[in-house]
Structures are given as C-alpha cells and as structure tokens.
Amino acid sequence: MVSVERVAQPRFTWTVPEGILPAVIAVSATVVAGYTASTLETPITSEVGLVAVLPPAYWIGIVTLNVIFAVSLGRGRPNPWLPAVLLGCLVVALYGAASLATPVPRAEVAWRHIGIADTLLRNGQLDPGLDAYFNWPGFFALLAVLSSATGLPPMQLALWAPVVNALLWLAALGLVVRTLTTDRRLVWLTLWLFCLANWIDQDYLAPQAFGFFLYLVVLALLLNFLGARTSPGWSWSPAGRLGWWRERLPTDPLAARRVAALLVVTVLAVVIVVSHQLTPFMLLASVTALVATGRVWASALPLVIAVMVIAWLVYPASTYLAGHPPLFVNGVEAAAAANVSERLAGTAGHLLVVRIRILLTGTIWILAAAGVLIARRRGPHDARPVVLVLAAAPFALLPAQSYGGEMLMRVNLFSLPFTAFLAASALLAMQPVLNHIRVVALAVLCSVLAVASVSSRYGNAQFDMFTAAEIDAAKRLYELGPADAMLIAGGHPTPWRYREYEQHRYRTVQDICESAPDAAICAQLVHASARREQSGAMVLLNRAVKSSLVMQGAMSDIEIDGMEKTLARLPGVSKAFENEDARIYRIEPYRQVG
Amino acid sequence: MKRVEWIAAATGISGLGLPLLLAAGLPQPLRAVVAFALIGFVPGFAVTRLLGFGDNVMLVVVSIALSLSLTAAVSTLLLSLTAWSWLRCVYVLGAITLVASAVRLGRPA
C-alpha cells in the first residue's frame, strides 16, 4: 500500500488585527448617520423634534454602534482602544446630529453667551452692573481669548461645542471611574450609559459645561491622589466616629504629589468659582460629602472652597448678590413644582417628549438602585459607598434654588456619572464574560436608550433650531434699529443678543405679558413699554418663538396672531422687515413735549 | 540629553514660539491649531509634568483642564485690571509655559 503524504501548501493569508474590522464598521456607521443627519432641513416641523425626521439610515448607524459595543463588552477583556473609538463615534452621532443638520448653533442661550464674550473683548473690562453673567466672567473671558486668538467665528465654536464638551466630560469621567473599579468593562459601560442618558443638554457653549468638566477633573484628582483609606470598623458613637475619621490614611504615599494635586485642585476650584453660579455649590457638596465619609484625605478642602465661594459672592459678585440670594430655601415641594409639574404642559408631542425624558432618567435610576442591591460585593474595596455619596450629594441643593426651574436637571447632570456607574454595575453583575443572551439584551437596551436620548435631547428642535430666515431677521434687527433702541423678541427662542449685548435693553413679549389676560392687552402692554423708551423699540416676532409658545402651552396660535395684529394697528407702529419666518416692527417713542 | 528633558525643552520652546507665531499672524487653519494648542494644552502640560501625575491619560486630561483654567484666570485678571488684550493673555500663557519648563529642566536628574 502506498501512503500518500499530504504536503502542506504554503498559504497566503491576510488576517485583520483584532478590533480593526469592528472599528471600521463603527466609523462607517457614524459617517452614514452623520451624512443622513446633514440632509435634514430647518425648520423641523415635528412636535417631537429630530427623532421624527431623522432618516432610517441614521438609526441603522446608531443601532450598529450599540451592537458593536455590546459585542465588544461580551468578551472578558475588551480590546483597550475599540471602546474608545466606539465612544467617539457615539458622541459624534448623538451630540453632533444637530450641528451636522444646520450651520448655526441651536438654542438661544449659546447666542447670548457669544454676545457676552463679544462685549468683553470689545470693551476690555468688566462691568458687573450689566447682568449676572458679568459677575461670573471666567468662562466668558476664556471664550473671548479663544475666539480672538483662533480667529474662528464664535458661531463655529458654539456649533461644535456639544461634541467637544461631551468628549472632555467623558475623558474626565473615565479618570474618575477607573479609580472606582479595576473592571475595564464597567468603566466603558459607565461612559456609554452616561453618553446615552445625558439628554440634559447642558453641553453647549456655556459656563456650566466648562464648570462640569473642571468638576469631574477635580473629583478625578481627589480620588486618584488625595484619597483616603478608612479602617473597616464602625462606631455609632460620636467619639468613635470621630476617631474612625481621624485614623484614615492617605492612599497616595507620596506627600509631594498630594501637595501638587491639592494645588491643581485649588486652581481649578478658583476658576469654577469665578465662572459659574451653581457649580461651586455642587463641588462644595461633593467634596464635603467625600471628606465627611472619610474618602478624601484633604480635610480642609471644603473650608477652602467655602471661603472662595463666600469671598467671591461678597466682593466681586456683590453687585448681583443684592436682591438675588444665591441659595434660599424654597422647599422640596416648590422645587418639584418648578422643575417637574410646571413642565408637564403643552401639546401632545411636547408632553410625549417630557415623559420620555422622565422615563429615560427613571430607567437609569432604577438600574442604579439595582446596582446598589445586586452588584457583586467587593469587600473592603467596594466602591459603592463612595459612588452613592457622589450620586446623592447634588440633591442637597435641590430645595435651595429652583434655578429658573432647571435645578432638577442640573442635579440630575451632576448625579449622572455615578448613577450611570451603578446602573452599569447592575448590568454587568456577576458576569465575568457576558453570554449571548445578555449581549443581545444589552444591545437592545442601549439602542432603546439611544432612541430615547435623541428624542429627549432634540425634543425642542422645532423651536431651538433656527432657520436661515430667522438668522437673517435677527441680523436686520440690529441694522434697522436705532443704536440705543429697546429690542423686544416674542420669547426666548430667538437668535439674538450675539452682538451689541450691552448697547440695548432686551425684553420679550412673553415676559412683558406674563400677567396679561388676553392678546389685546398683551399688545397694549408691549406697545406702552416700547413707546416709553427714549428711542422707541424694535419688535422681532419669529417662527421659533411662536412654536415654543404653542408647544409649551403658554399661548395659542390664535392668541399670538391676535396679539401681532393688534400691535400692528396701534399708533407709532410700522412693519420694518418681513421674510418667511420673521417680522420686525418699529415702535416710535412718545413725542417729547417742550 | 534624556528624553524627559527633550520634552521639557520642546515645551519651553513652544511657550516661546507659539505666542510669537500668533503675534506674527498665521493663515487659517494654522492659526486655529496654534491657538488651540497654546490655550488648551501647552501651559497645563508644562505645569502638570512638573507635578508628576500618573499616566498619559491623566497627564493629557489634567493638562487640558489646567490650560483652560489658566487662560480663564489670566483673561479675567487682565479684564479686572482693564489691561485686556488677547495677545497679552497669550504672552502670559507663554511665560507660564517657559517658567514651568525651565523649572523642570533645572531639576536634578
């Protein structure tokens, strides 16, 4: 018998390095999602915002990213850089959708912030008497240098601010979370959930976005270099508790590095205090909670931050402080009314968006609660107590300020990094390697959260994304009006105040007519307040304002049109400009006698 | 020269060169890149390396936070002194970078 020996033929194989293929698919999915978002046209007509008008290809891109992420977590040790690429793609697809759809920043506040920075760089000095912003000028001073030195139009900086801020937040949050766990999957899932659940929309060009980044970096420095270890024993007596607290030891043995970290923390805290009203209080609450629970070594730090906050309020911000206490106890009931129940009004579409926001936040909180209860116990290295402290600390401020009805949202933002961590702990509980069913479940959950995130974040797109005609009308408002005329807009969603910020008095019909019983009286009030001005006033009524008033249930279509018709007929009123999305009326002042 | 010292020397040169490049006037997008580097990274990087914090991710994130904070602080101070100009602010940032790099270079190996 002849045996035939099989000779192995040399094979030319080309193997793709692990992680490359999913990364290429993820980048392609992001390009597709981004391209489809860029094909949208303003105005967005749906009452539920972008979610209703984004094409199917966008959603395919979003679902693809979530599936790849869930699969990558399914491995025991995920490739170290693939989740980073995926996270970058998710940020661009979610946070950059509106920036790709329109060439101008959305939300009126970003336009106002550009105007404040413009005032600083034109005048070269601070005037705290102008308004509250000039009492906390740090961020605007930074923005003035940034826009001048780069030579880029401030609108471009504002347009991409959400993407840049989200990336900075995630980088800083990554540093915080990796001090809490050695499980890399938990770190990445926390960042992913934070990205999905952050519908709060505070990442535009704003002091709070800058302050939140610095806040996270401060926490990262505290937990990395200024952390403390406590003994496992516990005493309920005050003396025993004090002894337990005093016996804590620094986690970083290098004293020089602790001092260096404390110096950097102090610099960042100073800039937070100088830049934003609310963030210093959030920082103070979190740092105090960490020190009180023996998690941070620098016991004097809360006192240092408190002195900074008080010193700033007493002197540089004293102009604003008169009549505007930074904190006053409203009570939880008042806070809940201003933050939740007063928002549950408006059209069916708007109500749906509000409910999705509540549901999205509630889901993360329920998962976080599960994380507290069922996540794997890690003995003395269990991070859950410190995470709970950081998640709960911002709530101390909830009854102290309604913050224009936004306090609950701000509290939610400051809690989110830690509720996301607990939620991620629940999803990964006791599973070193996720089985196929759990990978599929995770992909489905993340995809659903992504849809809810887009619905929540861009739910006001009908009135916070402006058309070219509205931008043009706002520009004409400044060109047509006298230099010192009062400028009146229908409401807050108006792309104005980006220039000549300090040269005009600004009011809105919404504010003037707060107590007006009907449209005719509203028109009379606007007319009277305009004519009393020495140079009269210019009134801009645009599409976005009308949408916002109707959607939020403040006024009906008929009332708004009735108010405009009545105003147009009153003496001294003439139409100065009109296009498809806006009209400008000039209101002459009362004739001077003598 | 050790690698560490090369980085400190290069950072110091950036502290000197980037403000001068901005003052001289650069075409876009070079101007934006140089300005972002100086305002958002270089001074913080020089100071953070001096302090010896952890790994590269920590170094980069703290450098960005510190640079932006230093820019905000310097700009606010100049506004308070009614001496504000963006170029003056950029020069101060360059000076901070130079000093931090010089201290790093002057340290015994």
Say which amino acid occupies A545.
V
Q: What is the pLDDT of residue B55?
A: 85
> Does A274 share its domain with A333?
yes
Distance of CA A139 to the CA centre of its chain: 15
Do A494 and A579 lie in one domain? The reply is yes
Each residue's pLDDT tens digit, A553-572: 888 888 899 999 999 999 99
A4: left (phi over 0), alpha (psi -120 to 50) or beta: beta
Predicted local distance difference test score (pLDDT) of residue A69: 94
Q: Are residues A538 and A415 in the same domain?
A: no
Confidence band, pLDDT 50/70/90 cuts, at residue A377: low
pLDDT band at B92 (very low <50, low <70, confident <90, very high): very high
Is the pLDDT reported for residue A9 higher than 80? no
Q: Are residues A252 and A348 in the same domain?
A: yes
Tokens of A327: 């904190």
Query: Which tens digit of pLDDT belongs to each residue from A479-500?
Result: 998 888 999 999 889 999 999 9
Instruction: Please list every residue in chain A whose beta carbon sits closer than 8 Å to the beta carbon of residue B82.
Output: 124-125
What's the structural domain count of chain A? 2
Q: A522 lies in which domain range?
A: 467-587
Contact residues, chain B, for A126 at CB < 8 Å? 76, 79-80
Per-residue pLDDT at A420 exceeds 90: yes
* Measured distance CA(A287)–CA(A303) in Å, rounded: 10
Residues A407, A413: Cα–Cα separation, whole Å: 10
Q: Is the model's pLDDT at A399 over the cut of 60?
A: yes
pLDDT band at residue A593 using 50, 70 and 90 as cut-offs? very low
Cα–chain center distance at A93: 16
The residue among A431, A454, A479 that closes a domain is: A431
Q: pLDDT tens for residues A188-200?
A: 999 999 999 999 9
Clarify whether residues A141 and A290 are in a common domain: yes
**pLDDT value at residue A384:** 77
CA-nearest of A182, A158, A245, A176 to A213 is: A176
**What pLDDT is stored for residue A4 in this prediction?**
52
Closest C-alpha to B5, from B48, B49, B47, B38: B49
Instruction: List the domain range (segments joined by +) for residue B39.
Output: 3-106
Whether residues A317 and A405 share a domain: the answer is yes
**Percent of chain A topping pLDDT 90:** 58
**Is the pLDDT reported for residue A380 higher than 70?**
no
Both A418 and A519 in one domain: the answer is: no
Mutation test of the interface with chain A: which of B31, B63, B76, choosing the one with the most A Cβ atoms within 10 A?
B76
Do A431 and A64 touch, CB atoms closer than 8 A?
A: no
Look at residue A107 and tell me whether its pLDDT is greater than 80: yes
Chain A interface residues (partner B, CB cutoff 8 A): 120-121, 124-126, 137-139, 141-142, 144-146, 148-152, 168, 171-172, 174-175, 210, 213-214, 217, 220-221, 224-225, 256-257, 260-261, 263-264, 267-268, 270-271, 274-275
pLDDT band of A418, cuts 50, 70, 90: very high
- Inter-chain residue contact A144 with B76, CB threshold 8 Å: no
Please state, as a whole number, how many other Cβ atoms lie within 10 Å of the Cβ of residue A480. 14
CA distance B48 to chain A (A): 9
Question: Which residues of chain A have a CB within 8 Å of the CB of B62?
Answer: 217, 220-221, 264
Over 60: is that where the pLDDT of A113 sits? Answer: yes
Region of residue A63 (phi > 0: left; psi between -120 and 50: alpha; otherwise: beta): alpha
| A419 and A477, same domain (yes or no) | no
Q: How many residues does chain A have?
A: 594
Query: pLDDT by residue (tens digit) across A212-239?
Result: 999 999 999 999 999 888 777 666 777 7
Looking at the complex, report in whole angstroms how far the Cα of residue A49 sits from the nearest Cα belonging to chain B.
34
Q: What is the mean pLDDT of residues A406-434?
A: 87
pLDDT tens digits, one per residue of B41-58: 999 999 999 888 878 999
- Chain A residues whose beta carbon lies within 8 Å of the beta carbon of residue B85: 124
The verdict on a CB contact (< 8 Å) between A267 and B69 is: yes
* β-strands A582-587, A537-542 pairing: antiparallel
Query: Across all residues in chain B, what is the average pLDDT?
Result: 92
Burial annotation A487-512 (CB, 10 A radius, 16+ → b, else e): bbbbbbbbbbbbbbbbebebbbbbeb
Chain B CB contacts of A256 below 8 Å: 52
Which of A120, A133, A143, A146 is the best residue to mutate to test the B interface, defined by the most B CB atoms within 10 Å of its own CB?
A: A146
Nearest residue of B to residue A219 by CA position? Answer: B62
Is A146 in contact with B82 (Cβ distance < 8 A)? no
Which single residue is written with the structure tokens 């904070």?
B69
CB A267 within 8 A of CB B69: yes
Residues A570, A505 within the same domain: yes
Q: What average pLDDT does chain A have?
A: 87
Q: For A447-461, what is the mean pLDDT?
A: 96
Judgement on whether residues A418 and A485 belong to the same structural domain of the protein: no
Same domain as A489, residue A413: no
Contact call for A149 and B35, based on CB within 8 A: yes
Q: How many domains does chain B have?
A: 1
Q: How confident is the model at residue A510 (pLDDT cuts 50, 70, 90)?
A: confident
DSSP element (H, E) containing A327? none
**Nearest chain B CA: its distance from A488 CA (Å):** 30
Task: Provide the pLDDT confidence category of residue A336 given band limits of 50, 70 and 90.
Answer: low
Flag if B79 and A148 touch (Cβ within 8 Å).
no
Reported as a pLDDT band with limits 50, 70 and 90, residue A466 is very high
How many C-beta neighbours within 10 Å does residue A407 have?
22
Please tell me whether residues A283 and A156 are part of one structural domain.
yes
B52 interface with A at CB cutoff 8 Å: yes
What is the 3-state secondary structure of A121-181? HHHCCCCCCCCHHHHCCHHHHHHHHHHHHHCCCHHHHHHHHHHHHHHHHHHHHHHHHCCCC
pLDDT tens digits for range B68-77: 999 999 999 9
